[in-house]
Amino acid sequence: MASSTPTATTLFRRLCWDGTVPIEVKIDSKELPAGSDRTLESFYIRAPRVSYLPLLIQEVKTFLFDLVLDEASAKDMKTDDWWFEAEGGALLKWHWPVGLLYDLHLVAHPAPDFQMKPFTIILHLASPPTDKLLFTPSIETCKQSFMGQLKEADFLRWGNTKRVTSLRKEDQDGLWEGIVEHNFDDFWRIASKIAPSPNPLAPPLTPNPSSPTLPAPSSRPASTQPPSGSDRDNAYSVRSVPVRIYLPDGPVIQDLVPPFLEDGLPHSLSLFLSAQLPLLFKPSPTSSLSPVDPNAPKSNLAFALIQGVIAPLDCEMAWLGACMSGADGWVNVCIGLEK
Amino acid sequence: MSGPSWQEELRQRLIDRNAKEAAYAGIIEQYRRLVQQTRLLKERNASLLRAVGSVRSNPNSSTVIVGAGGDDNPVRAAYIVSLESQISSLRDEMAAVYKTHGQNAQRLFSMTETLREKEELLRVEGDNLRKLTEEITHLRRKVDQHNELMSEKDRTAQVLHDEIATLQLELGQIEERNASLVKDNAVLLQRWLDAKQADANRMNEANEFYDQMRSRSDAIQEWRNRHVDGSDSASILSGNEDALAIPPQTRATDGKGSQPAGRLTLTPNG
Amino acid sequence: MEGAEALETYKKKDAAKVVVRFKAVGNAPIMKQNFYKITAANRFQAVIQFLRKELGWKTGDPLFTYINLAFSPAPDDTVANLYKSFATEGHLIVNYSTTAAWG
């Protein structure tokens, strides 16, 4: 348990972490070898949002080999050729977290009234489009990619990757193990050394977590944590918040996102989106910096989905970076069109 | 949960999301178990089928076992192997469940600990709050008292002001009267001095006159002594009687005034 | 559908180019030319492929690429995004190595 982290932050991290996606894996029946048992068409898994598709392969494989394929074709089957596609044809990347894949599917194919429905994905057994997937479904590659993302986020925040690289090898592996095992405590015990925390200084309404009457939790190792390292890890003193915008079936946008704007106000989701996507989000009433675009919409034509929930536009970016980021440290903002 | 409203909004939505996404959890878990069960039965079925096959291909052995209790029965053996593997996999599962249980117990423990800390904190905060509330009421009362005291003082001050004004007025009048008395006094004194001056003047005149008369009478006496002749004396005596009528008056004046007359120019100051 | 139109606008590829500067790390061979103008809309994967071609690398030969000697970007991230976030003095510095350096 990250005992040095304010309770509110831990609460949000826990809520985000606990998110799961019910997945229905359908096997493309055209690709099934002769002799397969076709009575069972779908396989259901409940996957953590922070997980990755390569981590699900083992379970799918057991199902497929034991119940669907006959022994001969099971022997020939290579999981390296497998790949997943969402219902509707979108390719599912190996190195994107399950939660992001699901959110992107939700914004591209919104269910009526956001009705809950398992995420149907189609398993193909052969001829993967490697030029688009870029990776093989290897768990090791997935881990490398995860570490790369973690470092990129670290670099964006602080201008170097010292926080990640100074972790011991066991801790670096422990992060990945935490994801594989979906163990919140194991993961965040290490991750809280990297992730910034929203400090009491910047958001005016957040109460000071270090009340003088609070007895120090006995479980905290006194030597490893500097007593007042709050500014060093403060989410509001980063250079840039690691944020990516995902458009439905479209490009991914990434830019520098300082926690404060030139006028000294905290950077909000509203300001960020209207600056990055001025055709979809109306200019924020508090933004005095940019001249109003004549093409700017009168009302928002789109909404922002973060961690599977519609985010209020007055969220502060730095806070999102600390409390609503994925396990890799990135805040993934999926854009969906308003009906 | 305190904080800006968007934080509260996000918190609520995340809770809703987790509830919604967990809606299928039970079904998926049951599905997983069904799959497991199916897999097991399928495997068992396969091995039993294989065993039956071997029995058929070797009819001699099957006749031998008949009635022998079936320890060597390959079908039974296959069944037992399958059951054993089921047992071992169930054991594995149980171990996993124990592990999860242990983890959950640990988590429960740490959460209870956190809860206890929070409750302690809450208690301290509650105490603080209570103390502060008490202090506030106490201070409020004090403020009220002070206010009352102040208004009381205001009233007293007002009364004193009034009194001062009255006294000032009185003082003015007294001063006025004093001034007029001083003036009166001066006039009276002047008149008294004037009167005294007049008395003194008169006494001086009388003394002078007495002295004159005396010296005249002495001269007459002397002259009479020289010309001893008694007849003359009567007429002179009568003249003396006139002269003698003056001394008592003079004496009375003398009694009031200080000492001998003679040289005096009397002033009131003496 | 205004929103859909707006989405289409954002899908259009940007033809702008940015300067990418390659720097060898360790005993990786040095390139004849260091600076290249690369279309910003390209994915980083295109940069990797370009680099492999320039170096004459065969498929399967190990090549590791890093930004600012710090991290390996996702190959599907665009050069534009990387340039916006990590450019130094107008260049996107790409380090390459034959061994995993900051893995």
**Where are the domains positioned within chain A?**
7-13+140-205+229-235, 14-137, 237-337
* CATH superfamily, domain at A7-13+140-205+229-235: Autophagy protein Apg5, helix rich domain (1.10.246.190)
- Largest distance between two CA atoms of chain B: 229
| Pick from A278, A335, A327, A281: nearest CA to A306 | A335
pTM of the complete model:
0.71
Among A285-289, B148-152, B242-246, top mean pLDDT goes to B148-152
Q: Using 50, 70 and 90 to split pLDDT, how confident is the model at B267?
A: low
Nearest Cβ partner for B14 among A16, A62, A312: A16
Say what the ipTM of the complex is.
Answer: 0.91
pLDDT tens-digit map of B159-185: 999 999 999 999 999 999 999 999 999
Query: By the 8 A CB rule, do B21 and A20 touch?
Result: yes
| Pick from C12, C11, C21, C15: nearest CA to C47 | C21
So what's the pLDDT on residue B88?
92
Count the Cβ atoms, other than its own, within 10 Å of residue A264. Answer: 6
The CA radius of gyration of chain B, in Å to the nearest whole number, is: 74
Neighbouring residues of C27: CB distance < 8 A, sequence distance ≥ 6: C98
**Statement: residue B68 has pLDDT above 60:** no
Nearest Cβ partner for C3 among A95, A240, A301: A301
Nearest Cβ partner for A205 among B4, B16, B17: B4
Identify all chain A residues contacting B29, using CB atoms and an 8 Å cutoff.
Answer: 46
The lowest-confidence range among A61-70, A294-303, B3-12, B138-147 is: A294-303
Shortest CA distance from C49: residue in chain A = A131
Asked, colleague to colleague, whether A7-13+140-205+229-235 and A14-137 share their fold, the answer is: no
Chain C meets chain B (3+ C-beta pairs below 8 A): no
DSSP 8-state secondary structure symbol assigned to residue C43: B
**Low-confidence stretches of chain A (pLDDT beneath 70):** 1-5, 113-114, 199-232, 284-296
Nearest Cβ partner for A312 among B6, B22, B110: B6
What is the domain partition of chain B in residue ranges? 196-256
Mutate to test the interface with A, among B11, B16, B28 (most CBs of A within 10 A): B28
From A323's Cα to the closest Cα of chain B, the distance in A is 10
| Pick from A169, A171, A200: nearest CA to A186 | A171
Q: Do C85 and A248 touch (CB under 8 A)?
A: no
Q: Using 50, 70 and 90 to split pLDDT, how confident is the model at B98?
A: very high
Query: By the 8 A CB rule, do A236 and A266 touch?
Result: yes
Tell me the angle at which helices A7-17 and B5-21 cross, rounded to the nearest 10 degrees: 30
Query: Spelled out in words, what is the top-level CATH class assigned to the domain A237-337?
Result: alpha beta
So what's the pLDDT on residue B250?
47
So what's the pLDDT on residue A217?
39
Neighbouring residues of C35: CB distance < 8 A, sequence distance ≥ 6: C19, C20, C21, C91
Chain mean pLDDT for chain A: 83
Tokens 């790369």 sit at which residue? A148
Identify all chain B residues contacting A46, using CB atoms and an 8 Å cutoff.
Answer: 24-25, 28-29
Identify all chain A residues contacting B124, using CB atoms and an 8 Å cutoff.
Answer: 213
Strand partners, C92: C20
C103 CB within 8 Å of a chain A CB: yes
Rounded to the nearest 5 degrees, what angle is found at the Cα of C97, between the Cα atoms of C96 and C100? 120
Strand partners, C94: C22, C67
From A207's Cα to the closest Cα of chain C, the distance in A is 33
Chains touching B (at least 3 CB pairs under 8 A) are: A
Chains touching C (at least 3 CB pairs under 8 A) are: A
Chain B meets chain A (3+ C-beta pairs below 8 A): yes
Query: By the 8 A CB rule, do A9 and A323 touch?
Result: yes
Q: What is the dihedral of CA A208, A211, A212, A216, to 10 degrees?
A: -120
Identify all chain C residues contacting A238, using CB atoms and an 8 Å cutoff.
Answer: none
Identify all chain B residues contacting A315, using CB atoms and an 8 Å cutoff.
Answer: 6, 10
Query: By the 8 A CB rule, do A242 and A161 touch?
Result: no
Query: Spelled out in words, what is the top-level CATH class assigned to the domain A14-137?
Result: alpha beta
